[in-house]
Structure 1
Amino acid sequence: MSHTSSDKKLLARVRRLKGQLEAVERALESEAPCGEILNLVASVRGAVNGLTVELIEDHIREHVSNPETDSDKARGQGAGDLIQVIRTYLK
């Protein structure tokens, strides 16, 4: 079983995304102004980026190196640096 399958936080993010996409659908169906639809789509993009960051960070911590527990300090530091770069890049 994958470490992500029991993560309630990830499921909550996906459910929130689902709701945001449904809001985009409703806005399109009701012919809402394009500015409103663009704002909704921007929110979806931000939510997808947040989910992506969370998944990549979890993957690094589980399968590459956990900065807090790795006995190899250089590898742990490198993993921590990578996590920070990914957080910055995808925000």
Structure 2
Amino acid sequence: MPHSPEEKTRVLKRVRRIAGQCSALERALEEGADCAPVLQQIAAIRGAVNGLMSQVLEAHIREGFAQPGHTPDDAAVQELLTLVRTYLK
């Protein structure tokens, strides 16, 4: 999780934008919108969530692995590999 105030603000803004996109998708579905715009909105949400995941994962890597003089232990490496595998599914 991003810990600096700037990173936290950026992540929260991104989450709020995603929530707005989800609300717009919900409205479109309730109103019976055509499939093409609905699929386009779903793709946009997926891209936004992937961007959020990338941003948080990058912050996690920087916190745990980019510290000068810090050598990550096997458990930390395994945790990171598990996160990356989940992200890439």
TM-score past 0.5 threshold: yes
Structure of higher RCO (CA pairs closer than 8 Å, 6+ residues apart): 2
**Runs of 4+, deviation exceeding 2 Å:** none
Structure 1 CA distance for aligned equivalents of residues 65 and 27 of structure 2? 41
> RMSD over aligned Cα, in angstroms?
2.3
| Mapped pair 1:54 → 2:55 | yes
Structure 2 unmatched ranges of 5 or more:
71-83
Q: Quick one: percent identity of the two aligned structures?
A: 46
Shift of 1:71: 5.2
Structure 2 CA distance for aligned equivalents of residues 21 and 15 of structure 1? 10
| Mapped pair 1:10 → 2:8 | no
Shift of 1:64: 1.7
Shift of 1:10: 0.3
Which residue pairs with 1:23 in the alignment? 24
Q: Please, what TM-score do these two structures have when normalized by structure 2?
A: 0.69
Whichever residue aligns with residue 15 of structure 2, its letter is V
* Residues matched between the structures, number: 71
Shift of 1:51: 0.1
3-state SS of the aligned residue for 1:24?
helix
Shift of 1:48: 0.2
Shift of 1:65: 1.7
Q: Please, what TM-score do these two structures have when normalized by structure 1?
A: 0.68
